[in-house]
Structure 1
Amino acid sequence: MTVLAADPEAPTSAKTARRPSDESLILLGIGLLALGTYLWQLSVPEQLSFYDSGVYLAAAVHLVSGVVPYRDFTFVQPPGLLYLLAPVALVSRLIGTHDGLTVGRALASVVTAANCVMTAALVRRHGRTAMVVTGVGVAVSPVAFLVSSAIKLDPFSLGFVLLAALVVVGRGPAAALSRRGAILAGVALGVAGLVKLWAFFPFVAIVALVAWRARGRVVALVASAGATFLAGVAPFLLAAPRSFVAEVFVEQLGRKANAADSGSLLWRLRALTGYVDTLVAPSTGVTLVAFTVLAALVVLAYRHWRSVSDADALILFGAVAVVVMLLSSPETYSYYAYYAQPFLIALAVVALWRIGARLRERVAPPRVGKGTRRLVVGAWVASLVLASGAMVLYTTSFYSAYAYTYGYYGRWMGLVTRAVPPGACVVYNQVAFGVYANRLISSDPACPPVVDVYGEWMGNGYQLVAPPRSFSREWLGYFERAQYAVFTRLKPADIPWDGRLTHWFDAHYRLVANKQFVFVFKHISARGG
């Protein structure tokens, strides 16, 4: 019997296992494209739109310093992001909150890039092109550029939702979900809810799919999600039960908005495109046509329900759940649309690819030579690269324009650094000023940790009515203990001014420095004795 020697160049199973697949390379490329552009963007804009960034980093810094949210200061979100930012907060204690803010924004860029990768992975069964279109589409969405450059809840919460979705359907049908996988998905969903309560809506979508396809795993998934959420909130719930429930649940679920922040249904639909604040923002008519076409494509693509994969079903369930949430929330901002972007873009791609697959079954594709095929593929790749580059440049300029409208010039914060000595007790109407100027941490243990002025209003009339006297008295106590006050206006509207508070402040504080939208006041003895 002749024994043939093994070809050393032949691919063995071990070599094949070590070789990265085309899908892995595509996912890596999408991640690098997104991360590279997001990090590059951090060095481009001069204007910083960072109210939320300041609130979340300041709250995390206070937490690692022993000042507890809900008990010692108002914090109207679940504590999940504070856990995630705790390492950044500890670093901020060492290197300063200014550089800590940079680290936090870079972390947000990493998370937002990871979301692009996970969304692309959800459509992998439709092929490499579908993965590229989905991942790049999410990566270069203007609203993604905005949230990637700030510390906001949405990318972090959505990231754990996408992770749970991948655990459930990323490697096959949900029926194959193991008990361990169900627990892992539940933990991810619990963390998502700990970051932002909105995660409840995609949680319902995932539970619905698991109940339909893998009923025996529902209990493990729901129980692990609930246990994770309860474990995360327990320390704060025990420390300040009434404040925690009021701030996280009562005030959030009962939010009221003024006319500027409520947004009409048609405006919210426009915002869902991710382009509402850009120079090419779609009109209401174009938006209605676009969503009508998308709905028609989805109906056409999903009408043969038995052929719909679990991953495609989950994308549909998730898109519907998140869109309903965004259209029905009492308050809205344009960046809220980011929570829906991965689901909507993936849904559009899945619908087109399913329809295309059905057409290819009925109509034989024309035979194309190898040279022509290479030319077409090369042209397609070149077009994709050019389009991506154009979108990167455009959306980066979009971020700068958006931040110019809603943000503050970073160099203005240097005035706070120069006018306020280190360790001084400062009250801000936008705590991000203190974060950026390295003047957040006070050496005075009695210094009031005012983090979120707008959040304080949520329990005091939402700026829709005159401030309650108790609210104004609370701020009088802040000013009495503080050495400095830093405002964005001479008398910013988000401070609960009444006659007594205004008179007392004017008698005890003097303007010592100002530039553009930065006003620094120093606490002095009462004028006239």
Structure 2
Amino acid sequence: MARPRSARLPLLCLVLLVLVLIALALIRPLDHDESQYVAAAVLTAHGQLPYRDFAYLQTPLQPFLFAPIAALAGTLAWPALRLLNALLGALAVTCVYRAARAGGAGSRPALLASALFACCDILLFSIGTARNDALPVALLAAALPLVVRAGNDRGTKRSAVLAGLLLAAAAAAKISYALPALAYGLYALRDRRHRPAFVVLGTLPIVAGVLACYASAPDGFYFGTIDFPARAPAEYYRAAGKAWKLSWWAKPLDTLKFLALGPALLCLALASRFRWRARGGRAIDWMLWGAVAAALLPTPTWRQYLLPLLPMLFVRLAIGWQVAPPGRRTRIALVVFVCAGLAPSLEAVIRARPGIPMTDALRHGGAIRTALDRAGVTGPVATLAPQFLPATGRLPDARFAAGPFYFRSHALLSPSDEAIVHVAAQDTLGIAFARPPAAILTGGEGPWTSGDAELDEVLERWALRHGWRRQAVAGGRFRLYVPAR
């Protein structure tokens, strides 16, 4: 028996969304932000552990979950991780739809709110690269149908355990998701229909895993999850002459700008007008305010920091529209904001022509592999762009697994502490390279990957000063240095 049209439409929209997000993942320009996440997944796939064997500047879950994908993909690990993030983005949108339906919204308002969520540049940017944004937002969104059902007296002990597991996993993938998760936990204590004891029970496996990571390397764990995120941004922006990004007035401007790239800003104003008719949706509000706090705490504010608040926002909007659908003027305004949200992705498509950035990345990887083979290099490679190394079959030097983000810092750690945490900074490179790498690869950190070419020059000057010989790399982007024979 054929499905009714109302049931087929969400499925068709999901298929279209997956295809569009996959295309954007392949077309979006290369970004140096991807460096540490690709490196962490690949190193974990080879049996190394975050914090203990290499530096990882986030909470620890993602490398463990993504390592099997990196292992299966092999030389295609980087594009595979981009595609995985695109699929996780589609999952997040689907879960927003399911949560809205669980809250009483009809198919049409739930579909409209989900589509608006998918048109936010905050989401499209965050899931278009191999970063650590898609996994936590998918986990958070997957918990929302369970939260809504519990508030409507349709939850079970099993669903409460699963909600706790998903929310704890989101926080273990990115620490900013801990605040909406904590907000839900506090609300569950107030509204016992959410079965707080079973929610806590669900968090225990994740908590145990995080504690095991801490126990394996306390210094590295503390530095990667707490110390570096707290101190490094301010140090970097002051050193780069961009202290204005840290000012009190930059935060509201940046927040409004990123929310306005898409319908999120308008929808935030619209959703604030709706009042819940029952207690069932109040947990969503608590989580939304927790996510707002998580977005505004870091300085400076970047678009991906606002991602945690979007799933709750659009669930709330869909349920409100079930009672009061948007009028004609609201729909026109939404179209304008949707165009603003899609504009950066359309620009990325235009910039990608005639080539595809991920295809170019693999071509560069092949050229680097040829140069490494010719030079007889089999050991770890020091580079600020470790995301290019999976295509070569080589691993990054553990001290450079964090890409350029620790390397560009000044005096965050002493040289002895850097050795413990497995990092190297530009100012202490000579000390770190008392134990030199098998090779040095430069050229991947530059404007073409949203990076700073001067950082690569620091590595290059060290190689030339110590008599390392330059090995030709086809394509002109990269320079390989190996020890003199």
Normalized against structure 2, the TM-score is what? 0.78
Residue 237 (structure 2) pairs with residue 275 (structure 1): no
* Preserved contact between residue 55 and residue 224 of structure 2 (Cα < 8 Å): yes
Q: In 2, distance between residues paired with 1:272 and 1:347?
A: 20
1:103–1:294 distance in 2 versus 1, CA, 3 Å: closer
1:190–1:476 distance in 2 versus 1, CA, 3 Å: same
Aligned with 1:60: secondary structure?
Answer: helix
1:489–1:197 distance in 2 versus 1, CA, 3 Å: closer
Q: In 1, distance between residues paired with 2:441 and 2:224?
A: 25
Q: In 2, distance between residues paired with 1:24 and 1:221?
A: 32
* Preserved contact between residue 381 and residue 437 of structure 2 (Cα < 8 Å): no
Residue type of the alignment partner of 1:86: A
Q: In 1, distance between residues paired with 2:179 and 2:157?
A: 22
Q: In 1, distance between residues paired with 2:394 and 2:180?
A: 36
Q: In 2, distance between residues paired with 1:418 and 1:222?
A: 52
1:350–1:428 distance in 2 versus 1, CA, 3 Å: same
| 1:429 counterpart residue number | 384
| 2:305 counterpart residue number | 336
Q: In 1, distance between residues paired with 2:427 and 2:23?
A: 46
1:439–1:477 distance in 2 versus 1, CA, 3 Å: farther
Show the 5 A alignment for 1:259-338. Answer: 259=237, 260=242, 262=246, 264-273=250-259, 275=261, 294-295=268-269, 297-302=270-275, 307-311=277-281, 313-338=282-307
The higher radius of gyration belongs to 1
1:398–1:339 distance in 2 versus 1, CA, 3 Å: farther
Show the 5 A alignment for 1:165-244. Answer: 165-169=144-148, 171=149, 173-214=151-192, 217-225=195-203, 227-244=204-221
1:164–1:56 distance in 2 versus 1, CA, 3 Å: same
Residue type of the alignment partner of 1:48: L
Residue 405 (structure 2) pairs with residue 482 (structure 1): no
1:439 Cα shift? Answer: 4.3
Residue type of the alignment partner of 1:269: T
Residue 475 (structure 2) pairs with residue 521 (structure 1): no
Unaligned regions of 5+ residues in structure 1, if any? 1-14, 277-281, 360-375
1:387–1:28 distance in 2 versus 1, CA, 3 Å: farther
Residue 209 (structure 2) pairs with residue 252 (structure 1): no
Residue 45 (structure 2) pairs with residue 59 (structure 1): no
* Preserved contact between residue 113 and residue 314 of structure 2 (Cα < 8 Å): yes
- Answer with 156-165 or 336-345: which moved more: 336-345
1:140–1:452 distance in 2 versus 1, CA, 3 Å: same
Residue 361 (structure 2) pairs with residue 416 (structure 1): no
Normalized against structure 1, the TM-score is what? 0.72
Match of 1:398 among 316, 327, 347: 347
1:309–1:518 distance in 2 versus 1, CA, 3 Å: farther
Render the CA deviation track for 1:273-310: whole Å, top value 9, x for unaligned: 2628xxxxx9xxxx9xx56x844x445322xx5x2452
Residue 53 (structure 2) pairs with residue 72 (structure 1): yes
| 2:392 counterpart residue number | 438
Match of 1:127 among 94, 98, 106: 106
| 1:160 counterpart residue number | 139
| 1:117 counterpart residue number | 94
1:470 Cα shift? Answer: 8.1
1:153 Cα shift? Answer: 1.4
Q: In 1, distance between residues paired with 2:268 and 2:212?
A: 45
| 2:417 counterpart residue number | none
* Preserved contact between residue 59 and residue 69 of structure 1 (Cα < 8 Å): yes
* Preserved contact between residue 34 and residue 116 of structure 1 (Cα < 8 Å): no
The count of residues paired between Structure 1 and Structure 2 equals 446
Residue type of the alignment partner of 1:475: A
1:33–1:140 distance in 2 versus 1, CA, 3 Å: farther
Residue 36 (structure 2) pairs with residue 32 (structure 1): no
1:140 Cα shift? Answer: 2.8
Render the CA deviation track for 1:59-117: whole Å, top value 9, x for unaligned: 1221232222212211111221012112112213xxx33x1222222211111001111
Q: In 1, distance between residues paired with 2:279 and 2:209?
A: 34
- C-alpha RMSD of matched pairs (Å): 4.0
Residue 106 (structure 2) pairs with residue 136 (structure 1): no
Show the 5 A alignment for 1:86-105. Answer: 86-92=67-73, 96-97=74-75, 99-105=76-82
Aligned with 1:481: secondary structure?
Answer: coil
* Preserved contact between residue 467 and residue 484 of structure 2 (Cα < 8 Å): yes
Residue type of the alignment partner of 2:13: I
1:448–1:109 distance in 2 versus 1, CA, 3 Å: closer
Q: In 2, distance between residues paired with 1:299 and 1:110?
A: 30
Q: In 1, distance between residues paired with 2:160 and 2:114?
A: 26
1:177–1:346 distance in 2 versus 1, CA, 3 Å: closer
Aligned with 1:250: secondary structure?
Answer: helix
* Preserved contact between residue 39 and residue 106 of structure 1 (Cα < 8 Å): yes
Aligned with 1:301: secondary structure?
Answer: coil
Q: In 2, distance between residues paired with 1:517 and 1:462?
A: 31
| 2:406 counterpart residue number | 456
Q: In 1, distance between residues paired with 2:394 and 2:6?
A: 46
Aligned with 2:285: secondary structure?
Answer: helix
Q: In 1, distance between residues paired with 2:211 and 2:188?
A: 28
Q: In 2, distance between residues paired with 1:184 and 1:177?
A: 11
| 2:469 counterpart residue number | 510
Q: In 2, distance between residues paired with 1:267 and 1:113?
A: 29
* Preserved contact between residue 155 and residue 193 of structure 2 (Cα < 8 Å): no
* Preserved contact between residue 34 and residue 140 of structure 1 (Cα < 8 Å): no
* Preserved contact between residue 512 and residue 522 of structure 1 (Cα < 8 Å): yes
Residue type of the alignment partner of 2:30: L
Unaligned regions of 5+ residues in structure 2, if any? 414-423, 447-451
